[in-house]
Amino acid sequence: MSETKPRDVQILPIGTDTIVLRSRSWARLRFEIEYALAKGTTANSYLIQGDKNALLDPPGETFTEIYLQALQQRFDVKKLDYVILGHVNPNRAATLKALLEIAPQITFVCSNPGAINLRAALEKDDLQILVMRGEDTLDLGKGHHLQFIPTPNPRYADELCTWDPQTEILFSDKLFGAHICSDQVFDEGWEVFNEDRRYYFDCLMAPHARQVETALEKLADLSVRMYATGHGPIVRYGLIDITKGYREWTKQQTSADMTVALIYASAYGNTATLAQAIARGITKAGVSVEAINCEFTEPEEIKAAIEKSAGFVIGSPTLGGHAPTPVQTALGIVLSTATNNKLAGVFGSFGWSGEAVDLIESKLKDAGYRFGFDTIRVKFKPNEVTLQTCEEAGTDFAQALKRAAKKSVVARQPASNVEQAVGRIVGSICVVTATQGEVKTGMLASWVTQASFNPPGLTIAVAKDRAMENMTHTNNKFVVNILAEGREIRKQFMKVYAPGQDRFAGLDTQESNNGGIILNGALAYLECSVQSRMEAGDHWLVYATVDDGKVLNQDAVTAVHYRKSANYY
């Protein structure tokens, strides 16, 4: 997929009196973890033309000009009656203001939290707003009698789905989407989107699994023919599969043995972005997250989440040299509720000073809490490296909880006959390296094997909680460095690294043709392209073809890893 393609707006009828306007960006739009697959995205907007006309979810300001141009070529915007907002993102303000200039008669339709956010985003108190609370409806005529289903979660407290019984289309906004840009409007051949949809779920929905489960229950009785998503292809052919997938994935989260309470507030969205990356790191390690936006959560809910959690993480912006009042309230609840044997973490984004983060850290240290990662302080907007650091910090936090739980239950049991037998499978010792933007990482691997002759290909098993995992998706590139006997390089990658720490410090390296990292001290290297991957228990099994390679040391012998049990590496 070429990043040189210009942004455009793709328009197509999708139902009676209903069209989609897909604002397309073939390149990654911003540094947020759900965009990490870097496949571009679409911002999907919809127009329903009944006796009255409603526009759903206009895109953000990066698309304002081309979107309005495309819309006006097909519809007289002056005749627009309603703009329905699944959620209010400040990024949409420019587009909404432009619409109001053309059609000042517009009535906005949103949830009550959405109305509050909308007035703040547009800096106007005299907006015409219809607040939908769940039982309210909106009749556009011609059978389009719209119903509204609030589906809030901590990240999007104003989330609202719209149901049109006439076309049997559910305008699902954040639910069931994917960040991928293509020419496909619908998801025919939907299996090719499974990986993208799962990744989108893991990043955006997994930290809010309890709320997603509630949303699915609300939607269960609707006879849906199509999910008109906010991003990516419209769900039509894979509707049963994605619905089943969401139920299974939420159950995985809600039934996890351990939970972390992730408590935060966010002034400009930056602290929320950090929270999302930390949550992704925790959930990929098999620990569930109870995300709590303390601006919209009652004290009793915060207290209950802390009581059942194995650990907690608190994030805050700094406003006027202080933490916002909701964060201060939440911190007080934590200090009075959480025993100091619970693991703690602190993070936050700030503009000119970070007193709020320092205050929270000092209060928790004074109370005797142990920290699962070094406090994360980010000035202004996070970048790729920062988000990778946050994700690794979340994974370290979850792994620390799991290690503590194992110690408190039982010591390692002797390997069974089956485990002893499986453990006799040997593998060459390799270091797999990859880069993505400014992020560079590598991991020691021994579960690597040739998988095909033509084309030459291999499989590699990557644990779900490895930092490398995010860089082993379809179309990603990586380098397999096959090690020679000897322990120097091997020891380097057996170290425990702090989040964001340079794994290649002191090593002789060069950049490969595919952008990866070649270890010049290796026996040989292979440049690989990921073709597919499948979920395999606690690992992802990645199949990649070999594009290039070279033996660097003709005289050395491949390092081999011998084990006596299959229950550890």
3-state helix, strand, coil in the chain (%, to 5): 30, 30, 40
What pLDDT sits at residue 30?
66
What pLDDT sits at residue 183?
94
CATH number of 8-253: 3.60.15.10
**Six token digits for residue 59:** 């895109």
298 to 152, 293, 294: CA distances (angstroms): 14, 10, 8
**Six token digits for residue 149:** 């289903």
Which pLDDT tens digit goes with each residue over 452-506? 999 999 999 999 999 889 899 999 999 999 999 987 899 999 988 888 899 999 9
Q: Is the pTM of this model over 0.85?
A: yes
Measured CA to CA, the distance from residue 324 to residue 154 in angstroms comes to: 17
Phi, psi at 65, each rounded to 5°? -65, -50
**Is cis: bond before 154, omega within 30 of 0?**
no
For 302, residues 6+ apart whose C-beta sits below 8 A from its C-beta are 261, 263, 292, 294, 330, 333, 334
Contact in structure between 107 and 126 (CB atoms under 8 Å): no
What pLDDT sits at residue 2?
41
Measured CA to CA, the distance from residue 400 to residue 393 in angstroms comes to: 11
Sign of CA dihedral 431, 390, 270, 380: negative
Measured CA to CA, the distance from residue 157 to residue 77 in angstroms comes to: 29
What pLDDT sits at residue 250?
95
Nearest CA to 399 among 343, 332, 317, 470? Answer: 343
What pLDDT sits at residue 152?
94
Measured CA to CA, the distance from residue 137 to residue 162 in angstroms comes to: 10
Measured CA to CA, the distance from residue 430 to residue 428 in angstroms comes to: 6
Residue 21 amino acid letter? L
Let me know if domain 256-407 sits in CATH 3.30.70.640: no
For 467, residues 6+ apart whose C-beta sits below 8 A from its C-beta are 388, 391, 392, 395, 441, 443
At how many degrees (to 10) do helices 209-219 and 239-254 cross? 140
Contact in structure between 529 and 456 (CB atoms under 8 Å): no
Eight-class DSSP state of 285: T
Intervals of the chain under pLDDT 50: 1-3
Measured CA to CA, the distance from residue 433 to residue 520 in angstroms comes to: 13
Contact in structure between 491 and 540 (CB atoms under 8 Å): no
Nearest CA to 345 among 378, 308, 372? Answer: 372
**Six token digits for residue 452:** 């095909």
Which pLDDT tens digit goes with each residue over 147-167? 999 999 998 999 999 999 999
Burial of 383 (0-12, 13-18, 19+ CB in 10 A): middle
Write down the architecture of domain 417-561 according to CATH: Roll (2.30)
For 335, residues 6+ apart whose C-beta sits below 8 A from its C-beta are 363, 364, 367
Eight-class DSSP state of 411: P
Spans of all domains in the chain: 8-253, 256-407, 417-561
What pLDDT sits at residue 3?
46
Residue 160 amino acid letter? L
Q: Look at the block and give the residue holding tokens 């919209």.
A: 296
For 222, residues 6+ apart whose C-beta sits below 8 A from its C-beta are 163, 170
What pLDDT sits at residue 69?
96
How many CA atoms, within 13 angstroms, populate the side-chain half-sphere of residue 348? 28
What pLDDT sits at residue 452?
96
Q: Look at the block and give the residue holding tokens 């096959």.
A: 482
